[in-house]
Amino acid sequence: MKSDYRRIGDFIRKVSLRNTKLDVTNLMGINIDKFFMPSVANTVGTDMSKYKIVKKGQFACNRMHVGRDKRLPVALLKEDDIIVSPAYDVFEITDQDVLNPDYLMMWFSREEFDRNAWFYTDADVRGGLKWEDFCNLQLRAPSIVKQNEIVKEYNVLESRIKLNDGFIEKLEETAHAIYKQWFVSHENSDDEKRVKLDNYIETNPKLSLKKNTVTTYVELNDLTTTTMRITGSIKREFTGGGSKFQNYDTLLARITPSLENGKTAFVDILEEGEIAAGSTEFIVMRAKKNISPYWVYCLARDENFRSYAISSMVGSSGRQRVNEKYLGEYIVSKIKSEKMNEFHNTVEPIFGMVKLKSMENGKLSMLKNILLSKLV
């Protein structure tokens, strides 16, 4: 009902507790997916006493780049105290008997909220959002009983997704452990039994995709830093340029800091025979004949390979990219076809289970979005 709508500012107040005693050391930032994450800022020589403390149950947000990112990075802290940049806003709910913090975070997670926030950004190139405009954004606040019911339903879905995420991580750890045991721990030092990587893979292989063809499109943001999953994609017309790939290819971020952070994915979300398009900011790695595509993905996650890739980066500071041709010069042990086949058959069920759990999470996320859409 319209009478349920009120200003967000009617429910919150700013908090500005500085880290004057330097007793909080966990510095965090906020990503556009609205989660706290370890900060990558260089704090050498920085006066950390000016940083703001966020306590459990409080929110922090970064209003500076809403116009550019079309999202408001805002997060609710559910763990021990952290510190954030002095440029962030920290706020809390004035009366939790009237507004549930988890319900407010659900409201912030809605796409419609981000669209409204973007609409109110200023004309600055980065598109900042004024605090007054943030406070004037509308919030539907039904009774606290109704809020608690909605939060409970949402948390059931969240818990299931987290459970699957944990299972996926364990599956990936198992696959990488097998890879390391078979191909890293016992590498042969005999130069005659070592070959260049381009004997085993192609990078950015040529694929034909007609302009204006509607196909799956994957952004760099759809790759994660810890798992093989592609977390999102859209259907759109192919406009030319960018990367093209198929199922069983591996996508490797080529730009800093995404490569250093570990953004890599295994493609298994496409229809049979579909050619997808994607960002120019990742390299497509494809297994050659008789080479396991699972081996290629595990190699892309291997610390030694990633260090080699990082060492090949060229370009100006902050916009460095991997030299694609240099990757083919990477030296690996020559692998007998029998061993490659055995590895493929051993890890194939693991990759299959990751796909199943990822599909389940996709359906659960759809249910979450449906629930969020019903908040209005």
pLDDT tens-digit map of 145-172? 999 999 999 999 999 999 999 999 999 9
pLDDT tens-digit map of 119-134? 988 766 567 899 999 9
Residue 44 has pLDDT above 90, yes or no: no
**Which pLDDT belongs to residue 48?**
95
Helices assigned H by DSSP within 258-302: 258-261, 293-301
The strand pairing partners of 243, in sequence order, are: 278
Residue 302 has pLDDT above 80, yes or no: yes
CATH class for the domain made up of 179-337: alpha beta
Quick one: average pLDDT of 267-291?
Answer: 94
CB 254 within 8 A of CB 321: yes
Strands 138-140, 243-245: parallel, antiparallel or unpaired by DSSP? Answer: unpaired
Residue 368 has pLDDT above 90, yes or no: yes
Residue type, 103: Y
DSSP annotation string for 132-192: HHHHHSEEE---HHHHHHHHHHHHHHHHHHHHHHHHHHHHHHHHHHHHIIIIITT----GG
CB 262 within 8 A of CB 225: yes
- Taking each continuous run of H as one helix and of E as one strand, the counts in the chain are 10, 20
Alpha carbon distance 326, 328 (integer Å): 5
Tokens of 104: 């407010």
Alpha carbon distance 337, 111 (integer Å): 49
**Which pLDDT belongs to residue 317?**
63
Residues 6+ apart with CB under 8 A from 254: 281, 282, 283, 321, 322, 324
Domain ranges of the chain: 2-141, 179-337
User: 58-67, 122-131, 339-348: which has the highest mean pLDDT?
Assistant: 339-348
Tokens of 235: 């259907």
Cβ-in-10-Å burial (0-12, 13-18, 19+) of 231 comes to middle
The strand pairing partners of 266, in sequence order, are: 250
**Which pLDDT belongs to residue 70?**
87
Residue 40 has pLDDT above 70, yes or no: yes
Alpha carbon distance 363, 42 (integer Å): 39
- Closest to 11 measured CA to CA, from 85, 108, 88, 83: 108
Alpha carbon distance 129, 119 (integer Å): 9
Report pTM. Answer: 0.81
2-141: CATH topology is Adenine-n6-DNA-methyltransferase TaqI; Chain A, domain 2 (3.90.220)
CA dihedral sign, ordered 63, 65, 67, 73:
negative
Quick one: average pLDDT of 347-353?
Answer: 97
Helices assigned H by DSSP within the chain: 66-69, 101-108, 111-119, 131-136, 144-179, 258-261, 293-301, 303-311, 324-327, 337-373
**Which pLDDT belongs to residue 323?**
82
Kindly indicate the confidence band of residue 238, based on its pLDDT and cuts at 50, 70 and 90.
very high
